[in-house]
Structure 1
Amino acid sequence: MRRWLALLVAATTSLVLIALLVPMALLVRAVAENGAMGRATTTAESVALSPDPELSAQRASLPVEVIRRVTPQSSDAVRLAALGRSVTAEADEGRQVLTSVQSPQGTVVISVFVSEQELRRGVYEAWVALLVLGLALVVLGIVLADRLARRLVGPISELAGVSHRLAGGDLEARATPGGPPELRSVALALNHLAGRIGDLLAAERESVADLSHRLRTPLTGLRLDAEALRDREEAARIAARVDDLERAVSSIINDARHHERAQTSCDAAAVVGDRVRFWSVLAEDQEREVTVELPQGRVQVAVAAADLAAAVDALLGNVFAHTPEGTAFSVRLTPDGRLSVHDEGPGFDAALLERGSSGAGSTGLGLDIVRRTAEASGGSMRLSKQGVELLLGR
């Protein structure tokens, strides 16, 4: 912006100076010519009025010729001056001023020669001075424009930096109002917006935490009901699921209370294997055939274990929610972090990719959670007719 403003001022100043200095330069030349011709006329009249024209011509500062005899071969200017008129005529490398005077011997024509050098005396020096003045004014205009642009660019750059910090999650970033009144107004508005964003996010996190905390009461009742079961094996199985649910609720509360989380990673093979074993019990109850393909070694991905577990639960939960009992499904994880969950059901509807859309009466957030988990790791999600494929970042 500083460069463009400087160029604009330089161009504008140059046009104004050209419009001003060119006529002034022409005026200087005309004044010099008029001065030279005035001096020549004065010299011619002085010589004509003197008693001895030849002697006066010798003492003149300009070349003077005294013509006592006018013949038909004389120039038109000389013959016209002999008629009693003052004549100015063009000559080689200059001009002539001619006048006549009557003497006892007849008409005498006085011719004063004005050279081009005399006509241009002081003109080139004045032109150089005007050029230097113009350049100085252009440079001065550029310097002033740069100072003005610095006052504008500084606050604008700070506003841009604060906006980038806010976009990066630094909700404490604030701009220092400065510069022209309009920029100060923008800075104050940006600070107000940042404050409102912080307040809204804090209120949202508190609401999520409060809602999650309210789930602890029914979880406690569910745990008591599980412990009251006479079948110890069944009680232990239900209690384990209650523990998993309670851990998930606690994780939601912690995430809501502490929004900034460090980048973590996990072993995808271990997390996927654990969640598949959890869902395998329900699959066995519903007589679903489960095919699992996991690598032998570790598959390190740039996803927190809790987030990956939630994504796997959402994918497997969709299989149980959207396919009839007895429908087989498969879970496959490759060493490069590619996770796929396919089933033999009727297939996915493309509308399920929209957040909040569901075809089975659920919240419709499952696939959106999966997509955001994959993208947060630097990967992606692809939805096919028979399942979902995730590419997890490493």
Structure 2
Amino acid sequence: MVAIAFLIPLGLVVQQLAEDRAVADAERIAAAVVAVLVVRPDQAAVNTAVTTISGDAEGRVAVHNSPSVQMGTGRARTAEIDQADDGSEMLTVDVDGGKALLAPARLSDGTVAVVEVFVPEDELNKGVALAWFTLFALAVGLVAASVWVGDRLAHKVVGAAKSFAQAARSLNDGQLGVRVQPGGPLELMEAGQAFNSMAERVLALIKAERELVADLSHRLRTPLTALRLDAEPITGPAGERVRRSINNLEVEVDQLIRSARQPPANTGEITKVGADGLPVGARCDASEIVRERMVFWSAVAGDQGRTCKRVGATLPAPVPVSRADLAAALDAILGNVFRYTPQGTPIEVAVTRRDGWVAVRVDDGGPGIPDPEAAMQRGVSNKGSTGLGLDIARRLAAGVNGAVNIGRSRFGGASVVVLLPDVEAPPRPTSRFGLVGRLSREPGRRRGRHQGVPR
């Protein structure tokens, strides 16, 4: 646009220069004819002067008001000729086909003759078309060059921005090894360098945290060893149960140490998703996990005089989580029940599979929880615990697009429902929260008014 705005006035200047050049040439011819008329007002002398000045001037020169010289056919009007006759300077007027230059010539006998020189339109515009074409071609070239340069600059900026955004998405997906190649404008280069520094800092923090977890987990070996020695003298089913629990705890601690000592994922690997939209990898049978864990918890419930009932869990219920994770989540929920409800409180654990979802429900007859929202927050507890029990179940469900719902059980206590996708029947496109009531209860059993009682 700047180039066009500059070239248009330039073209008008070129046109004006061509017109001025043609008028100046006419003034030169008129001056020569006037000089001859003043000195020698003779027809032959004027003809000779016109022929000498310019070969194409014969048909363009006319002489008015001279009795001795008759030349050419005038194009100017009578009033314009009379106006030039009364003046002392040349006069330029518009006529058909161009312009006419009128120059007065005072003869020796006192009369005033008027010399008319016709300037045709093509003389006025001579070279203008070529100049406009050249300027137009120059404008097109400038515009094309500016578009190309702008496109290259924009491509560089956009490419750097896209690379930066892709790296941010990759880091968000867990690719801790992703880095940005700084490029583009100075601001984007600085942002890329800051991103790389941030990624390095995140990797260092995760590494330090994992090392701390490994160290803390390793410290648990000493009290576990002492606990095992103390449990050796215990005989009977109780002693066997205690030793089995210690073995399970040692396995979990070993797994925690191994996981913590693995380097952070910096190879760019992310969780793969199958055609059903569920993570590819870990799979387990929720019914099998419930049956397995209920063997342990039923024994503990018997010691405390609790009724511990299992509903369902007879048919396979495949879910896209690992055995250890689901078992840990179920143990966390049941552990809360045993820890925060009085002895003798009934417990019921059920597994339901329907509409593409698997629900694992834990009901109790305890007093419930006074602050539901705080109980679902990580690290928050009003019972003196770590506040991580329900968060373990929540994060497990959230990792596979599931949910944890807390309501009122038929015993009057809390009802915790962990909703997980069914591996073999992907969930239908509907709200998973609306399915909780249907999945967490047996068909036909009416449920009391829902209360959000997070635990």
Query: TM-score, normalised to structure 2's length?
Result: 0.76
Matched, 1:142 2:165: no
* Residue from 248, 251, 254 that aligns with 1:244: 248
Q: Deviations over 1:155-205 (max 9, x none)?
A: 444433433333332333333445555544444433332222222111111
In 2, Cα distance between equivalents of 1:188 and 1:75: 84
The within-5 A match list for 1:109-124 is: 109-124=114-129
Q: 2:146 is paired with a residue of what secondary structure? A: helix
Tell me the CA shift for residue 56 of structure 1.
4.9
Q: Is the 8 A contact 1:41 1:97 kept in 2?
A: yes
CA change 1:275–1:27 in 2 (3 A) is: same
State the partner residue of 1:83.
86
Q: Is the 8 A contact 1:54 1:66 kept in 2?
A: no
State the partner residue of 1:38.
24
Count of aligned pairs? 377
Tell me the CA shift for residue 344 of structure 1.
2.6
Aligned amino acid, residue 367 of structure 2 = P
Q: Is the 8 A contact 1:271 1:309 kept in 2?
A: yes
Matched, 1:373 2:396: yes
Tell me whether 183-192 or 319-328 shows the greater mean CA deviation: 183-192
In 1, Cα distance between equivalents of 2:321 and 2:283: 5
In 1, Cα distance between equivalents of 2:56 and 2:121: 18
State the partner residue of 2:366.
345
Tell me the CA shift for residue 29 of structure 1.
1.6
Q: 2:147 is paired with a residue of what secondary structure? A: helix
CA change 1:74–1:187 in 2 (3 A) is: closer
Q: Is the 8 A contact 2:291 2:313 kept in 1?
A: no
Q: Deviations over 1:28-63 (max 9, x none)?
A: 121111111111111222222334335655754362
Aligned amino acid, residue 244 of structure 1 = N
The within-5 A match list for 1:301-340 is: 301-335=319-353, 336-340=357-361
Tell me the CA shift for residue 18 of structure 1.
3.1
State the partner residue of 2:453.
none
Q: 1:114 is paired with a residue of what secondary structure? A: strand
In 2, Cα distance between equivalents of 1:367 and 1:294: 23
Structure 2: runs of 5 or more not aligned = 37-41, 68-75, 266-270, 272-279, 409-413, 424-455
Tell me whether 285-294 or 295-304 shows the greater mean CA deviation: 285-294
In 1, Cα distance between equivalents of 2:282 and 2:126: 85
Matched, 1:388 2:392: no
Matched, 1:27 2:24: no
Q: 1:297 is paired with a residue of what secondary structure? A: coil
In 1, Cα distance between equivalents of 2:209 and 2:379: 18
* Residue from 57, 65, 69 that aligns with 1:68: 65
State the partner residue of 1:11.
none
The within-5 A match list for 1:181-196 is: 182-196=187-201
Matched, 1:280 2:298: yes
State the partner residue of 2:427.
none
Q: Deviations over 1:243-283 (max 9, x none)?
A: 12112212221221235598311111101221122211222
Matched, 1:362 2:390: no
Tell me whether 177-186 or 233-242 shows the greater mean CA deviation: 177-186
Query: TM-score, normalised to structure 1's length?
Result: 0.86
State the partner residue of 1:5.
none
Aligned amino acid, residue 84 of structure 2 = A
Tell me the CA shift for residue 207 of structure 1.
1.0
Tell me the CA shift for residue 138 of structure 1.
1.9
Q: Is the 8 A contact 1:40 1:112 kept in 2?
A: yes
Q: 1:209 is paired with a residue of what secondary structure? A: helix
Q: 1:334 is paired with a residue of what secondary structure? A: strand
Structure 1: runs of 5 or more not aligned = 1-13
CA change 1:351–1:74 in 2 (3 A) is: closer
* Residue from 204, 227, 230 that aligns with 1:225: 230
Kindly report the root-mean-square deviation, in angstroms, between the aligned alpha carbons of the 2 structures: 2.6
In 2, Cα distance between equivalents of 1:247 and 1:364: 23
Tell me the CA shift for residue 295 of structure 1.
4.2
Aligned amino acid, residue 286 of structure 2 = A
Aligned amino acid, residue 148 of structure 2 = V
In 2, Cα distance between equivalents of 1:322 and 1:197: 38
In 1, Cα distance between equivalents of 2:364 and 2:121: 103
Matched, 1:297 2:315: yes
CA change 1:116–1:381 in 2 (3 A) is: farther
Aligned amino acid, residue 236 of structure 2 = R
Tell me the CA shift for residue 301 of structure 1.
0.8
